[in-house]
């Protein structure tokens, strides 16, 4: 079994794959730079115990991170509590994807992992949309080349900034509005969150396809579940895309 870890700006997602490449469990923790290796290690041990998995059953680990400060803490946790040296997704890691951007070292590990998963599972050319703290879109052509992407503020990031800068607006959680036109402040904000995000995604995808031709669209990320019923039915939704990408990369590097 292996443990896959996706370290994002807001949350860290852990996934456990069995020897048949089946994702048997995921759990998440808030990403905190000040959290110790013991805290991460104990959380891992407790989750394994809950699943009835022995520590000795864990044969490897892989980490994709966009928060470098957390990397050595997680590496120490894996070594101390699981006796495993995790593989980090960094420039030079075998992925099967050719990076065709100006400076490949600048490509975020999450964008690369998503591209690997989408190309291997659904086929290229494809567009990968990841809805998290940031909203990102990555483009892979039919030669499995990562051509570049788009990064703009995530739903909650944008609205947190809006509310802090606007005296009369109140804080709102993302939710499914009853109609596109809100009848009060809360529903108006929620409508902006949902339909504004969908409009932006659809518009960017339309422009990408205009420049590069038709492509599959794969959507992932924690916010995607709030948009499911409003997204284009042709889009593929895969909440575990990055976990599967990490598992694929781990196998390529053995």
State yes or no: is 57 an active-site residue.
no
Evaluate whether 226 touches 176 at the Cβ level (below 8 Å): yes
Task: Please identify which of the residues 6, 110, 130, 238 carries the catalytic annotation.
Answer: 110
| Pairing relationship of beta strands 126-131 and 60-65 according to DSSP bridges | unpaired
The label of the residue with tokens 């052509």 reads: 141
| Pairing relationship of beta strands 11-17 and 23-30 according to DSSP bridges | antiparallel
Rounded distance, CA 219 to CA 101, Å?
22
Question: And the tokens for 227?
Answer: 């948009």
Rounded distance, CA 165 to CA 115, Å?
35
Evaluate whether 160 touches 252 at the Cβ level (below 8 Å): no
Rounded distance, CA 134 to CA 48, Å?
30
Q: What are the backbone dihedrals phi and psi of residue 229, each rounded to the nearest 5 degrees, phi first?
A: -70, -10
Question: And the tokens for 92?
Answer: 């030079």
**Residues annotated catalytic, as ranges:** 110
């Amino acid at each position: 079994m292996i443990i896959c870890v996706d370290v994002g700006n807001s949350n860290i997602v852990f996934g456990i794959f069995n020897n048949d490449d089946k994702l048997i469990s995921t759990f998440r923790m808030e990403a905190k730079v000040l959290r110790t290796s013991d805290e991460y290690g104990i959380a891992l041990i407790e989750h394994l115990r809950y699943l009835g998995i022995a520590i000795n059953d864990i044969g490897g680990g892989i980490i994709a991170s966009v928060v470098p400060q957390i990397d050595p803490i997680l590496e120490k946790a894996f070594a101390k509590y699981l006796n495993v040296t995790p593989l980090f997704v960094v420039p030079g890691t075998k992925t099967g994807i050719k990076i065709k951007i100006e400076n490949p070292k600048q490509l975020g590990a999450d964008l690369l992992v998503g591209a690997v998963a989408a190309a291997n599972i659904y086929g290229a050319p494809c567009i990968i949309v990841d809805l998290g703290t940031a909203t990102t879109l990555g483009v892979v052509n039919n030669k499995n080349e990562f051509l570049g992407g788009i990064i703009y503020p995530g739903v909650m990031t944008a609205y947190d900034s809006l509310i802090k800068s606007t005296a009369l607006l109140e804080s709102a959680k993302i939710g499914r509005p009853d109609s596109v036109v809100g009848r009060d402040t809360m529903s108006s904000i929620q409508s902006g969150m949902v339909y504004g995000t969908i409009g932006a995604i659809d518009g960017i995808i339309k422009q990408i396809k205009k420049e590069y031709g038709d492509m599959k669209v794969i959507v992932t990320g924690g916010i995607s579940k709030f948009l499911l019923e409003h997204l284009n039915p042709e889009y593929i939704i895969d909440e575990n895309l990055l976990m599967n990408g990490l598992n694929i990369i781990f196998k390529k590097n053995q």
